[in-house]
Amino acid sequence: MANIQKGTVGVVWGVGTVQVTGSSVGTNKPQSFDLSREGEERAIKGQDGDTVCRVFYDPVDKLSLEVVPSGTSKVDATTQFKLPQRGDLITITTGTLVDTAVGGIGGTLVSGSNYIFVGGNKRITVDQEARLTMNLERNANNLTAIS
pLDDT tens, position by position, 13-36: 666 667 777 777 888 888 888 888
What's the N-to-C CA distance of the chain in angstroms?
Answer: 41
CA distance linking residue 96 with residue 16, whole number of Å: 7
CA distance linking residue 15 with residue 35, whole number of Å: 13
CA distance linking residue 26 with residue 58, whole number of Å: 31
Closest CA to 94 of 66, 81, 113: 113
Look at residue 6 in the predicted model and tell me its pLDDT: 83
Where are the chain's structural domains?
19-139
pLDDT tens, position by position, 67-120: 898 888 989 888 889 999 999 988 877 655 444 444 444 444 455 567 899 999
User: What does the chain come to in residues?
Assistant: 147
pTM exceeds 0.85 for this model: no
Backbone angles phi, psi at 118, to 5 degrees: -110, -10
**Beta carbons of 98 and 104 less than 8 angstroms apart:** no
